[in-house]
Amino acid sequence: MALSQDEVRKVALLARLELTEEEIASQAKHLNDLLGQFEKLQALDVTGIEPTSHSIPIVNVLRDDVERPSLSREETLANAPEARDGCFVVPRIVAD
Amino acid sequence: MSELIGLTAHEAAERMARGEFSAVELTQAVMDRIEAVEPQVQAFLTTTADSALIAAAKVDERRAQGESLPPLAGIPYALKDNMCTVGVKSTAGSKILYNFIPPYDATVVARLKAAGAVLVGKANCDEFAMGSSTENSGFHPTHNPWDLARVPGGSSGGSAAAVAAQECVIALGSDTGGSIRQPAALCGVVGMKPTYGRVSRSGLIAYASSLDQIGPLGRDVTDCALLLNAIAGHDPLDSTAANVPVPDFAAACKSGVKGLRIGIPQEYFGQGVTPEVSTLVHAAIDKLTELGATAEVCSLPYTEYALAAYYIIAPAEASSNLARFDGVKYGLRTKQLAGHIGLTEKTRDEGFGDEVKQRIMIGTYALSAGYYDAYYKRAQQVRTLIRQDFDRVFETFDVLLTPTAPSTAFKIGEKSDPLEMKLADVCTIPVNMAGLPGLSIPCGFADGLPVGLQLIGKAFDEETLFRVAYTYEQATEWHKASPKL
């Protein structure tokens, strides 16, 4: 099943990547090449096989809910491309 | 003091303890070496001469006061740039993090600081550890010290090249599908991916969280054992860092291989392995049987499915991990005017390289509504089959032995097809899928280029890998060769 360029655009939107038309074409080719490689997995019988999400059996590691030191506001914002009044600056989302 | 740069960590530590030279002298010798060969090798993205000399002076001071110091005190090391260092730029080889200065140290960095090890620089790597040649670095490629026209492997290519070129004594890399072992093989050094959960990933910039593992690179087996001992063990900051005892790996090296059962999985000698590599690996098997081990062919029938399953699971996890790069909290932000979605989209288009975009795209697709069962879930089921393969052969064998990489180092620019590039990891990927420890050790040269063999062990049995590797190393001379630079 080959992906069309339109479907590639939809995936790019989900992935939050603004790709050029040229990139859409090259991504479509690459994705379809990879999907071709994945076909051999479709031929395997995996009925009743439990999926492995982690190689070691660890579930829900919990810690006590106690306060502990964390980064200061200054440290947290130090790498921000734009910060003002102790906050990250983002483009306006809601209109006036 | 140029004779100092070729020493291993354990040799240097012994001689510093005897007062033959100081940590400052050793560090200065390494910094001089970096200055001399870095223009050709380009193993580093950042070097840290000033802070290195201060750290080394502190070690010398502690020694002068009669303190008994840990084995890596005063030893210069390189760190792959995807591990966070407080106050030192950490880019993961990506332009999207070109100016990122972490506010905290990765746990491995904190542990090495406490051990007195001296950070000399941040090593180049494929962007976000995605690649097998270090050509995908967002900044520049690294050159193989054995032949500067060739790649050092990847993604920890800077770490492996720096160790081989004597621009550091030891180094840390990270390994998601072979990213420590394959460059170790291509650069003629020892490299190990520990069992998943052996080493904390806190402060490792994530690629594929269920596969990533930090591990040591060094010029001999003992150095890797010492470095793993310094970084291993439970960490409250990473809930997957297993709460299991950490044995003395350096002591484990010396137990010999008498009676040890080595399995030779036949599937690992197809898959594009060149005759030269195959011959050298078989010669190593003969050597180990001479030394008292037994070797027998075995089979891991699901091996051929590992690569395809990996290229669903790793990109799926990557697409989720890399969602954090949005142009708001750190790193690059586009200068183009845009709304809130456009800001993220444009920033990511400008900041990510082609390979990273490709993996985010395939991962996003594999996780998207309607395709999850067909791709992601099925890949995880195949992962179970791969693990069961290993469980079965480890009922009969103590350790498995394979080539690390199918061929020696290829030329920079030679593998332009991304699918062809991915075959470089065909022998290493199944080990990550099963979460097992794997170690690459030099086993000879083909046309002047290093070849490595891979040892695969049971979960949390790194000791057996160190035993086999050390015994082989002591009986051979490969680790004593160094590139002419």
Please tell me which residue of chain B has the smallest CA distance to A44: B382
Catalytic residues of B: 80, 155, 179
Round to whole Å and give the CA distance between B322 and B326.
9
In a domain, B165, yes or no: yes
Name every chain A residue with its beta carbon within 8 A of the beta carbon of B394: none
**Per-residue pLDDT of chain B in tens (485 residues, 90 and over written 9):** 568 999 999 999 999 999 999 999 999 999 999 999 999 999 999 999 999 999 999 999 999 999 999 999 999 999 999 999 999 999 999 999 999 999 999 999 999 999 999 999 999 999 999 999 999 999 999 999 999 999 999 999 999 999 999 999 999 999 999 999 999 999 999 999 999 999 999 999 999 999 999 999 999 999 999 999 999 999 999 999 999 999 999 999 999 999 999 999 999 998 689 999 999 999 999 999 999 999 999 999 999 999 999 999 999 999 999 999 999 999 999 999 888 889 999 999 999 999 999 999 999 999 998 889 999 999 999 999 999 999 999 999 999 999 999 999 999 999 988 788 888 899 999 999 999 999 999 999 999 999 999 999 999 999 999 999 999 999 999 999 999 99
Distance from CA of B219 to the nearest CA of A (A): 30
Candidates B226, B248, B225, B137; CA nearest to B183 is B137
ipTM: 0.95
Distance from CA of B359 to the nearest CA of A (A): 9
Cβ-nearest to A12 among B100, B354, B361: B361
User: What string of DSSP letters covers B470-482?
Assistant: HHHHHT--GGG--
pTM for the predicted model, two decimal places: 0.97
Note the residue count of chain B.
Answer: 485
Cβ-nearest to A38 among B308, B338, B434: B308
In a domain, B317, yes or no: no
Cβ-nearest to B358 among A27, A71, A92: A27
**Residue B366: Cβ-neighbour burial (10 angstroms; 0-12, 13-18, 19+):** buried
Residue in this structure with the two tokens 């790793």, named with its chain if needed: B314
- Number of helices (H), then strands (E), in chain A: 3, 2
- CATH assignment at residue B89: 3.90.1300.10
Tally of domains in chain B = 1
**Inter-residue contact B122 to B44 (CB < 8 Å):** yes
CB contact under 8 A, B361 and A11: yes
Please tell me which residue of chain B has the smallest CA distance to A8: B361
In a domain, B229, yes or no: yes
Residue B182: give the domain boundaries.
2-255+465-480
Name every chain B residue with its beta carbon within 8 A of the beta carbon of A5: none
Q: Ramachandran region of residue B456, left (φ > 0), alpha (ψ -120 to 50) or beta? A: beta
Mutation for testing the A interface, residue in B195, B359, B381, B391 having most A CBs under 10 Å: B381
Helical (H) or strand (E) element with B399: strand B399-403
Where do the structural domains in chain A lie, given as residue ranges? 5-42
C-alpha neighbours within 13 Å on the C-beta side of residue B272: 14
Structural tokens at position A90: 């983002």
Helical (H) or strand (E) element with B363: helix B354-367
Degrees (nearest 5) of the Cα angle B204, B352, B426? 65
